[in-house]
Structure 1
Amino acid sequence: MKKIFAITLAAMLFIPNLLSANPAKGLNVVVTSSDAQTQMMAMVLSMMTLKQKKEVNMTLCSNAGDLAVKGMKSTVLKPQDKSPKMMLQAIMKKGAKVKVCPLYLPNAGKDASVLLDGITVAKPMDVANGLLNTEYQNLSY
């Protein structure tokens, strides 16, 4: 009886983990919000994804594009005492690919020379292909 109980308990504990294994290669994250807390949540979840050895492709649009610009300030938030921009740079160091949408720079009166190292301008077809790739989960903030 104890053997049956042990086997049943082991099955209950381990089989759900095997069945729920996430086959996703990673995340596509689109950030448009100017709200620092919303931006930070996008960065935190991206970091957690990278820590799970998954890929992160991020596109910054509208006011969130400011995070990609050298010298632009970003609000420091608690409890980490970091800003979304600081987290953006941290996820890039861990391998996240970050781009700004092609509408951001011309509508902000800027060019690609103002972007942080490693950030480029997105190509709409590439972003669309990424969002349609079923091997990735999509998040939008």
Structure 2
Amino acid sequence: MRRLLTATAAMILLPACASVPSEGQSAPVAEDRPMLTVLTSGDAETQLMALVLTRAALAKGVTPRILLCSAAGDLALKDPPPDALAPLQPKGVSPAGLLRSLKADGVKVEVCAIYLPNRPFGAEALEDGVGVATPPDIASAFTAAGATVLSF
């Protein structure tokens, strides 16, 4: 079963949608629980919430992957905009900082295929380890069996 959740639905429905194993069953292993976070918003609070939920899913054994498009792609730059670096409450974490932390924890982070061709710079401006997604690869991610897609 695939789930597509918008930012609002993700915050409201994600816990209700999570499958809970019945007695005698074990929880699915991480590779059986893929999740794609698609982040397009340029709003720092929205960016941080998307990444906080992605971090929470990682802690629950989900295998997240992050696709950054439009203004959110700027989070993946070696020199992100000031808003992306500003710590937000309640934990004093910035969107760019949390993205770097997720990447360090093995979460695959990519910009969409349209991001770089529409900027005055190339892949050299991206942080090390950030890739450029291809549409067929992302289509495979969101159509995978059991995939959950969060969109912000």
1:95-121 deviation digits (Å, cap 9, x = unpaired): 110000011112121100011111011
Q: Which stretches in structure 2 are left out of the alignment for 5+ residues?
A: 1-18
Q: Which runs of 4+ in 1 moved over 6 A?
A: none
Counterpart pick for 1:43 among 48, 51, 54: 51
Aligned equivalent of 1:94 = 105
Distance 1:38 1:118, change over 3 A: same
Q: Which has the larger radius of gyration?
A: 1
Q: Name the aligned partner's letter for residue 18 of structure 1.
A: P
- Contact kept, 8 Å, 1:26 with 1:49, in 2: the verdict is no
Could you say what secondary structure the match of 1:41 adopts?
helix
Partner of 2:22: 19
Residue deviations 1:50-109, cap 9 Å, x none? 112221111000000000001123132111111110000111111110000011112121
Higher relative contact order (CA 8 A, sep 6+): 2
Q: Secondary structure at the match of 1:86?
A: helix
Please state how far the C-alpha of 1:17 moved relative to its aligned partner: 4.8
Instruction: Answer yes or no: is the 8 Å Cα contact 1:131–1:138 preserved in 2.
Output: yes
Q: Distance in 2 between matches of 1:132 and 1:83?
A: 31
Letter in 1 for 2:66: M
| Structure-1 residue corresponding to 2:60 | 52
Give the secondary structure class of the aligned counterpart of 2:149. Answer: strand
Give 5+ residue unaligned stretches, structure 1.
1-15
Post-superposition offset of 1:135: 2.3
Q: 2:149 aligns with which of 125, 135, 138?
A: 138
In the alignment, what sits opposite 2:115?
104
SS in 1 for 2:21: helix
Classify the secondary structure of the residue corresponding to 1:95. coil
Partner of 2:131: 120
Identity %: 37
Aligned to 2:140: 129
